[in-house]
Amino acid sequence: MSRLASAFAKARSEDRAAFVAYLTAGDPDAEATVALARALDRAGADVLELGVPFTDPIADGPVLQRAAARALASGTTLDSVFGMARRIREETNLALVLFSYLNPLYRAGLSGAAARARDAGLDAVLVTDLPPEEAGSYATAFRAASLDTVFLVSPTSPAARMSAAAKLSSGFLYVVSRAGTTGTRAELPADLPRTVERARRAARDLPIAVGFGISNPAAASRAASLADGVVVGSALVERAEAAGSDRVEAVAALAGDLAAACRRVRGHGRSRPRLTGAWGARPRS
């Protein structure tokens, strides 16, 4: 069982959703990123998505666009992201997902990037702008390096695309809660339960994690009642941005509240998601 699958299995055994946090690597510098990762680990995060900054982040809203710009201005490269990952692996128990657009990985060479990711202690790769229909060589390269591959589905994904994304995924299937870009929202969309149910039919025995727009403990609690994992990115990055030099304490406080919200409460109208099969399952062929 991979470290990522183990994180979801541990959360399930504790009757809670896994808390998946996101940071843009190098925002505002490498030292801050490692310090924030340590704080997230202490606060109860299970998984960290470590974002590779990119010049054209088409899936990201203003908060993560600003984070990428700061990281690039500080000189962050794919190599330095791997260096940060190596330190985070040594200093935390977090499962680590490399969160990237395709271009940085493609320029580095998929096989080479996969090997370097593995050697840096990363556990999985998620490429935001790679559709499953075009993912054959990508998935092969990263599976060969014993890395999980995570794919995205959304409310607008037809059943065939959800099935294709689930077939290529291991670790978990990422459900985008709404159409559009990343960013904080006041509440989750009303049709999220239906989207999660459709994704669960496609995923079968694979955990489901919900992200995009989860900005507070109330939203995290609702997502935890539907899915196996809750992904929070923009809210954490925005909190760090606003806090400046006090970013570690500010992010730790929010992360602690979010982690608590991922715990399921028995007897209060919240049901545990129906889960079957082997949590460590690899992609189906």
The yes-or-no answer on residue 60 being catalytic is yes
Q: Half-sphere exposure of residue 59, counting CA atoms within 13 Å on the CB side?
A: 23
- Packing angle, helices 247-261 and 30-43, rounded to 10: 30
Measured CA to CA, the distance from residue 249 to residue 160 in angstroms comes to 44
Contact yes or no for 230/210 (Cβ under 8 A): yes
Candidate list 27, 46, 49, 228, residue with the active-site label: 49
Coarse DSSP helix, strand, coil percentages of the chain, rounded to the nearest 5 percent: 50, 15, 35
Annotation marks residue 187 as catalytic: no
Catalytic residue (choose from 41, 60, 148, 238): 60
**What is the distance between the alpha carbons of residues 212 and 102, in angstroms, rounded to a whole number?**
19
Q: Are 226 and 196 in contact (CB under 8 A)?
A: yes
Q: Which residues are catalytic?
A: 49, 60
